[in-house]
Amino acid sequence: MTQDLISHIDRLIRQRPPSKPALLPFRELVHLMAHSTPDVRTVRIEKGVRDIQRQEGFPLFSREDLPLDFNAAADLLKKFLAHLIDAGRHDVQGIKTALNKTEAAHDWSGRLFRAILKQDEEAVSIMAAEVKLDPNVLLFLGKTALKPSIACLRDAVSEEMDKNEWREGYCPLCGSQPDMACFERTGKRYLHCELCGEEWPFPRIKCPFCNAEEQEKLGYFEAEQEEGFRVYFCRECLRYIKTIDKKAFEEVAPLELENLATIHLDLLAQENGFR
């Protein structure tokens, strides 16, 4: 898995050099993630109960109740920070302070993980200010430290998931919103969860955020000279979603990487008033 991710990252950087600044730091973290062995236990849910939950639009877990291994994630966060101290970053002082916090302050990492899962942006900002780091950097490191645990959980519950029966614009596993979409070679649209990376089918002409289906409310734009990518937007809720059309590429990286490699499209969407 790790090797696979690394080779996708190297190929993306080769084929689309502007993606390098976003992908290179992540490449370093992927190496460190390879040695994380989280212990994730999940509960079995009776099929009948699960069917009802699904019909009612309840994901398998809510973000705050995801049974993740915070100890493994805290260990990994420490490794990330220790590694970044030697990376020649401009914010090295903040990285050092954060590392001290993870080692000295009681349950500092746990507080960060809980804030991330709760989507409590204010709490993340306060913690980032404590150590003088950009909140986005701390958020990215915290989320990435949770990834091996989340991947374990996804493996453990893959049989419980009946994604083809799922009708919602949020993730069937954890209830989070999508951060990216793709058109499969069949033309079918899939959404990709911003937290757990789960993918599930969703109608092409429907906003995943507010369910608007009227053609006149929905639209898309493309970046110049960038075939295969579109930004779909909704005039009703002003949200957008980046979309990769797999037909336009010989090889497509996992969507978490395509998402990192297309940050310029987020900027473009935001410049156009979407969020």
Q: Are 253 and 11 in contact (CB under 8 A)?
A: yes
Q: Which stretch binds Zn ion (CB under 5 A): 37-45, 49-57, 112-120, 174-182?
A: 174-182
Determine, following the binding rule CB under 5 A, whether residue 68 of this chain makes contact with Zn ion. no
Determine which residue in the list 174, 180, 260, 268 makes contact with Zn ion, applying CB under 5 A. 174
Separation of alpha carbons 91 and 187, rounded Å: 44
Size of the site for Zn ion (CB under 5 A): 15
Determine which residue in the list 207, 252, 257, 269 makes contact with Zn ion, applying CB under 5 A. 207
Determine, following the binding rule CB under 5 A, whether residue 171 of this chain makes contact with Zn ion. yes
Determine, following the binding rule CB under 5 A, whether residue 176 of this chain makes contact with Zn ion. yes
How many angstroms separate the Cα of 209 from the Cα of each of 48, 104, 133, 203, 239?
A: 28, 41, 31, 12, 7
How many angstroms separate the Cα of 126 from the Cα of each of 107, 129, 132, 139?
A: 15, 5, 10, 12
Binding mask 215-244 for Zn ion (x = CB under 5 A): -------------------x-xx-------
Q: Which is nearer to Zn ion, 77 or 234 (CB)?
A: 234
Q: Which is nearer to Zn ion, 144 or 176 (CB)?
A: 176
Q: Which stretch binds Zn ion (CB under 5 A): 18-26, 120-128, 136-144, 189-197?
A: 189-197
Residue 241 DSSP SS3: strand
Separation of alpha carbons 248 and 43, rounded Å: 41
Determine, following the binding rule CB under 5 A, whether residue 193 of this chain makes contact with Zn ion. yes
Determine, following the binding rule CB under 5 A, whether residue 209 of this chain makes contact with Zn ion. yes
Q: Are 22 and 253 in contact (CB under 8 A)?
A: no
